[in-house]
Amino acid sequence: MYAIAEVYISPTSNAIIPPFTSKVGKSLLGDAKGISISPLKKGGNYMIKYSTLPTFMEVEEGETYSFEVGGKSEEVIKALTVLEEKRVFNTYWKVKDVKLNEVKVEPSDCIEIDILTPALLADPFRKDKRKRFTNAFFVVFAVNFMDHFKLTREEYSKLALSLEGKVREEPSTMSYAKVIYAGKEVVGIVGKFRYTVIEDESILKALENAVAKGIGSSRRNGFGRISLKGCI
CA dihedral 76, 81, 85, 86 (to 10 degrees): -90
pLDDT (0 to 100) of residue 19: 87
175 burial via Cβ count (<10 Å: 0-12, 13-18, 19+): exposed
CA–CA separation, 154 and 124 (whole Å): 9
Domains and CATH numbers, the chain: 2-103 (3.30.70.1890), 110-230 (3.30.70.1900)
CA–CA separation, 189 and 78 (whole Å): 31
Residue numbers of the chain with a pLDDT score lower than 50: none
pLDDT (0 to 100) of residue 3: 97
pLDDT (0 to 100) of residue 94: 96
pLDDT (0 to 100) of residue 165: 87
pLDDT (0 to 100) of residue 13: 95
pLDDT (0 to 100) of residue 54: 72
pLDDT (0 to 100) of residue 44: 87
Q: What are phi and psi of 49, to 5 degrees?
A: -105, 115
The model carries a pTM of 0.93
